[in-house]
Amino acid sequence: MFRKFSFLFLAIILGCSQQKEPVTIDLNELTIASIHAAYEEGQYSSEQLVTAYLERIEQENEKLNALTVINPKALDIAKALDREFEENGTLRPLHGIPMIVKDNFNTKGMETTAGALALKDFIPEEDAFMVDQLVKAGAIILAKSNMAEWAFSPMHSESSTFGTTRNPYNLDHVPAGSSGGTAAAIANNIGVIGLGTDTGNSIRGPSSHCSLVGFRSTLGLTSRSGVVPLYLRNDVAGPMMRTVEDATRVLEVIAGYDPLDPLTKYSDGKIPENYTQFLQKDGLNGARIGVLRELSENDPNLEVQALFEQAIVDLQSLGAEIVDPVGVPDFTDLRRNQWCDMFRQDIEDYLATYVKRDTMKTLEDIARVGTTSEYAREGVEYFLTASGRNPNPEIECLDSYTDERRIAFREAIEKRMDELRLDAIVYPSWNHQPALIDSFQTQYRGDNSQIIAPHTGQPAFTVPMGFTSGNLPAGLQFLGRMYAEPTLIKLTYAYEQGTQHRVPPSGSN
């Protein structure tokens, strides 16, 4: 019912839009730079671009179920940005760029549900810090995107509020989780900037499954305040884009200190003047890249494995020196017992800080309201009793800068990188193809994103690696040292530009 209302409302605001002149805009694979060039050349305005995207939503969203609610103020914001440009002739860094925001980011005046009935009709008073940064830079919130309820699932994107999102490359398959709505929309050219969150996989997994670039940045580089948490000790929010350049432009805006997120204090002095300087097509020349076979050879799909082997050849042909394999001492032991069940503590803090409802204060309140998703129901029931680190409850669950097991894991990896003089380590983001929607649990295999970066705090970027049968994308992941975003930008940009694997879904042109 709510979805029908949302898109009826969309038809109304489209009908009420009074443009000076109708224009035809090719939305296929637009970038921030190409949009700004069009604005400067007078080819179209922000208002006209937003109108074109709203029309595309009306045409495309029903098959994907990627979006949940349209921003009723999107056209008004676009008009105001057009007036600003007319008056001063200056474009903000993200001036007039339409943005899709995952439904766990607080958005002022727009419902924020995290896919759950317990937050249905919750309308935040302010934007999340990251959203606010992007809006101040000129981005326009076009719509919110569907997600796995409470961000519980890395496998699929199903919510009680809006149902299941489909992969735009093959509608029978999942876009992974939990940021599947953002991934499906951006991949299908419904918007330019995509925002997701990643507790263990949920920026990189959906980006890999939908032929996108996904940046999980260093824990502490960007803010998480105003975002519905899963495990705040692991959570990162960030860009899911069609190009490395666009993801870099977004990172440039969102990196930095937020007084409401104490972890961001660690970024002080570690952020360059700008990140776009590292967009270098020859960025792989002389780079040393290590291959982590412990992940890539863990029961891989043969087609994904073939793409990965070709990626190694491509990296070498683009100037990199390959170190293969890279063995990390005690890797199997160090990766164990890294997870801590912190959902109760984190979600109850969020409810107290932002929701402020007497009837919605505890995890028991969430359980009482219930869910239409069996997967989410099982998750809530688990967290009613689960807490801390299992099976080592005596080890305190802390952030990546103070937790002894996390520090040990990171130091082992970075020490090995130092010994081998590596700039990055690579492995497939997933060893297997996207699962069928109807069999996502039995086909959930090969999720490599969960294993290192969320625990060590290191940055990990995924970029398109090609396609397997069924027109199903795969991603290549680059892991770097703490705050080595400049290096990862150079490497991923050079690989992207040298291979050009990104192709839009059939019929999205």
d(CA 148, CA 62): 18
Confidence of residue 22 (pLDDT cuts 50, 70, 90): confident
- pLDDT of 10: 57
- pLDDT of 390: 86
Q: Is 491 helix (H, G, I), strand (E, B) or coil?
A: helix
d(CA 51, CA 21): 12
Q: Does residue 86 surpass a pLDDT of 90? A: yes
Contacts of 15 (CB under 8 A, 6+ apart): none
- pLDDT of 20: 52
- pLDDT of 508: 54
The mean per-residue pLDDT over the stretch 366-390 comes to 97
d(CA 385, CA 434): 32
Q: Which residue from 422, 423, 421, 413 is spatially nearest to 283, judged by alpha carbons? A: 423
CA-based Rg of the chain, rounded to a whole angstrom?
Answer: 21
Q: Which of 102, 225, 267, 429 is catalytic?
A: 102
**What kind and span of H or E run contains 158?**
strand 158-159
- pLDDT of 392: 87
Q: Is 242 helix (H, G, I), strand (E, B) or coil?
A: coil
Cβ count within 10 A of residue 125? 9
Q: Which two tokens stand for residue 189?
A: 């050219």
Confidence of residue 6 (pLDDT cuts 50, 70, 90): low
Tell me, rounded to whole angstroms, the distance of Cα 447 from its chain centroid.
Answer: 15
Q: Does residue 455 surpass a pLDDT of 90? A: yes
Query: Which DSSP category does 218 fall into?
Result: P
Q: Which of 46, 202, 208, 449 is catalytic?
A: 202
Confidence of residue 391 (pLDDT cuts 50, 70, 90): confident
Q: In which residue are the tokens 């925002």 written?
A: 195
Q: What are phi and psi of 452, to 5 degrees?
A: -115, -70
CA torsion, ordered 154, 145, 132, 40, to nearest 10 deg: 120
- pLDDT of 95: 99
Helix axes 180-187, 46-64, angle to 10 degrees: 120
Among 20-24, 71-75, 335-339, which stretch is predicted with the lowest mean pLDDT?
A: 20-24
Contacts of 283 (CB under 8 A, 6+ apart): 489, 490, 491, 493, 494
Q: Does residue 436 surpass a pLDDT of 90? A: yes
CA torsion, ordered 107, 483, 463, 326, to nearest 10 deg: -140
Q: Does residue 5 surpass a pLDDT of 80? A: no
Contacts of 381 (CB under 8 A, 6+ apart): 367
Q: Which two tokens stand for residue 50?
A: 């937003």
Query: Which DSSP category does 277 fall into?
Result: G
Q: Does residue 231 surpass a pLDDT of 80? A: yes
Among 149-158, 387-396, 429-438, which stretch is predicted with the lowest mean pLDDT?
A: 387-396
Q: In which residue are the tokens 């705040």 written?
A: 232
Q: Which of 145, 159, 160, 178 is catalytic?
A: 178
- pLDDT of 15: 53
Query: Would residue 317 show up in a list of annotated catalytic residues for this protein?
Result: no
- Average pLDDT of the chain? 95
Instruction: Please classify residue 59 by burial: count the beta carbons closer than 10 Å to its beta carbon, then call 0-12 exposed, 13-18 middle and 19+ buried.
Output: exposed
Q: Does residue 9 surpass a pLDDT of 80? A: no
- pLDDT of 417: 98
Q: Which two tokens stand for residue 211?
A: 């032929």
- Cα angle 110, 111, 113 (rounded to 5 degrees) comes to 145
Confidence of residue 1 (pLDDT cuts 50, 70, 90): very low
Query: For 108-135, what is each residue's pLDDT tens digit?
Result: 999 999 999 999 999 999 999 999 999 9
Q: Which two tokens stand for residue 151?
A: 């961000």
Q: Does residue 509 surpass a pLDDT of 50? A: no
Q: Which residue from 246, 262, 187, 247 is spatially nearest to 217, judged by alpha carbons? A: 247
d(CA 444, CA 470): 17
- pLDDT of 2: 41
Got the DSSP string for 446-482? -B-TTSSHHHH---EEEEEEEEETTTEEEEEEEE--T
Confidence of residue 253 (pLDDT cuts 50, 70, 90): very high
Which domains occur in the chain, in start order? 1-330+402-509 (3.90.1300.10)
State in Å, rounded, how far the first CA of the chain is from the last one: 30
Q: Does residue 219 surpass a pLDDT of 60? A: yes
Q: Is 272 helix (H, G, I), strand (E, B) or coil?
A: coil
d(CA 499, CA 213): 14
Helices (H), 65-117: 74-88
The mean per-residue pLDDT over the stretch 204-222 comes to 98
Helix axes 46-64, 74-88, angle to 10 degrees: 150
Query: For 273-306, what is each residue's pLDDT tens digit?
Result: 999 999 999 999 999 999 999 999 999 999 999 9
Q: Is 395 helix (H, G, I), strand (E, B) or coil?
A: coil
Cβ count within 10 A of residue 172? 13
- Cα angle 188, 202, 309 (rounded to 5 degrees) comes to 80
Helix axes 46-64, 2-16, angle to 10 degrees: 150
d(CA 312, CA 304): 13
Which has the higher per-residue pLDDT, 389 or 17?
389
- pLDDT of 460: 99
Please answer whether residues 17 and 45 qualify as being in contact, where contact means their C-beta atoms are separated by less than 8 angstroms. Answer: no
Strands 460-468 and 472-479: antiparallel
Q: What are phi and psi of 278, to 5 degrees?
A: -95, 5
Q: Which residue from 405, 373, 330, 424 is spatially nearest to 155, judged by alpha carbons? A: 373
